[in-house]
Structure 1
Amino acid sequence: MSNDIAYVSTANAKAIVLSRNNTVVGSYCSMDGRCASGSCHPDCELIIGAKNHLKGSSPDSNVQLLEGELIAGIGEYKVGKNILLKAMGLGSCVGVVLYDHKSRMAGIAHVLLPGASNDGKTKHAETAITTMLEEMVCNGARRKHISAKVAGGAQIFKHMNLDILKIGDRNIKSVEETLKKEKIEILATDVGGSMGRNVIFNAVDGSLIVKYSNGKVLWM
């Protein structure tokens, strides 16, 4: 089986197109909220360009192929270059992306809890971020080129008003404090609220796609 991920960028829009055996099986398009046809419409110029490029029938200079995808499970982080990074099913958890725009080295952490871990496991915000940052630097990233994007930290159960139960808010605060301590600039955030999220980061251009549990999509 042949699986490919294509990134398409034109003057009007950009998209991630997922293909299996030369068949488009999914897409994330920056025009989703303004396009009457919806995603994966066969007449979309972005989809057509990606399909032709993937088939080799008409190489498109607007299309770049990514080298795969990595998914960070709860309490995990993933690091890679020229790939798609994902953290799925974020409720009170926070997805933290670190990105070196020069080398295109990127990392994503699926933060479960605030603070630091006593056992070195990366489910806590501070431990996850510092460990991921260290691995990125060891793999060629430069600290001075690294910035962050952050999404998640929802309050899924609205009736829980005790501060100790507001894990989402505490996770957000812990992530922000750790990034400040590490002197990493936060370029974009989409945090809080009461809706779950999936986050997808494109290490080719540094865009973060946030897909909400109600189907709406935000590009950052």
Structure 2
Amino acid sequence: MSSSILFVSNERGKVIFLTSRDVLVKSFCSLSNTCSFQDSCRSCDMVDAAKSHLMGTRSNLNIKNLDGELSAGIGEYKIGKNVLLKVMGLGSCIGVILSDVSTGLCGIAHVLLPGASNNGETKYAETAIEKMFEDMVKMGARKNRITAKFAGGAQVFKHMNLDILKIGDRNAISVEETLIKRNIPILAKDVGGEVGRNVIFNPADGSMIVKYTKGEVLWL
């Protein structure tokens, strides 16, 4: 096994492990804010369970394999099933997640600007959400089962008070208004502030993982 993505969970917490050649190389852990090792992942029951799984040994923890990962660049959206979805380096941009747990289909968009595009550019919030929603339905997602989570929209120009420069706030408002107009339930959001974010969606349990550039991790 050259590389894999594992989701390990128990009643205490949950972790996503990225592995290469049966070695744990990176993790996103719900306990990282209280763990002295943070992302270095020294020995604990989660780490031990993941290592045992990679060696073909059964564990008493819940372990699921994901089928890879997809990352959406600025102005893009990606749709997958049983794959880790990511948008990285968000400042004023928004990472928007749509998912249908009944079919396992999920999508993530990297929204750059508020409003809609006249020529279908998916860097705009309304256009990106509409197109991603429609493509998911074409792929088998059920309209009335699709839900949303989103994060981002930081105030990059924090010393500027002009409304036109508050693009993060405008992005967040545009995303929320579009979701409400589409009758898509919003299950979680994390917007605003002055710190950048990375956003990851874990299809194994429907979690949106928000990692701030200063290190804090939220599982929503």
TM-score norm. by structure 2 comes to 0.96
- Structure 2 partner of 1:51: 51
Alignment of 1:1-220 (within 5 A): 2-58=2-58, 62-220=62-220
| 8 Å Cα contact 1:6-1:63 kept in structure 2 | yes
Q: CA deviation at 1:183?
A: 0.2
* Amino acid in structure 2 at the alignment position of 1:195: V
* 1:121 partner SS: coil
* 2:171 partner SS: helix
Q: CA deviation at 1:181?
A: 0.5
* Amino acid in structure 2 at the alignment position of 1:184: I
| 8 Å Cα contact 2:10-2:61 kept in structure 1 | no
Q: CA deviation at 1:36?
A: 2.5
- Percent identical among aligned pairs is 59
* 1:48 partner SS: helix
* Amino acid in structure 2 at the alignment position of 1:72: A
Between Structure 1 and Structure 2, how many residues are aligned?
220
In 2: Cα distance, 1:81 partner to 1:61 partner: 23
| Alignment RMSD (CA, Å) | 1.2
> 5+ residue gaps in structure 2?
none
| 8 Å Cα contact 1:52-1:60 kept in structure 2 | no
| 8 Å Cα contact 2:93-2:111 kept in structure 1 | yes
Q: CA deviation at 1:76?
A: 0.3
| 8 Å Cα contact 2:109-2:128 kept in structure 1 | yes
More off after superposition, 1-10 vs 196-205 = 1-10
More off after superposition, 59-68 vs 185-194 = 59-68
| 8 Å Cα contact 1:24-1:40 kept in structure 2 | no
Q: CA deviation at 1:157?
A: 1.6
4+ residue runs over 6 A deviation: none
* Amino acid in structure 2 at the alignment position of 1:117: S
* Amino acid in structure 1 at the alignment position of 2:82: N
| 8 Å Cα contact 2:49-2:61 kept in structure 1 | no
In 2: Cα distance, 1:170 partner to 1:211 partner: 22
> 5+ residue gaps in structure 1?
none
* 1:34 partner SS: coil
* Amino acid in structure 2 at the alignment position of 1:139: M
In 2: Cα distance, 1:7 partner to 1:40 partner: 17
| 8 Å Cα contact 1:50-1:60 kept in structure 2 | no
Q: CA deviation at 1:61?
A: 5.5
**Over residues 151-174 of structure 1, what are the superposed CA-to-partner deviations in whole Å (9 max), with x where a residue is unaligned?**
000001211111111110110111
Q: CA deviation at 1:198?
A: 0.2
| 8 Å Cα contact 2:102-2:145 kept in structure 1 | yes
In 2: Cα distance, 1:215 partner to 1:61 partner: 27
Q: CA deviation at 1:96?
A: 0.4
| 8 Å Cα contact 1:95-1:108 kept in structure 2 | yes
* 1:96 partner SS: strand
**Over residues 113-171 of structure 1, what are the superposed CA-to-partner deviations in whole Å (9 max), with x where a residue is unaligned?**
00111111200000000000011111111111111101000001211111111110110
Q: CA deviation at 1:42?
A: 3.0
TM-score norm. by structure 1 comes to 0.96
In 1: Cα distance, 2:102 partner to 2:88 partner: 26
In 2: Cα distance, 1:49 partner to 1:61 partner: 7
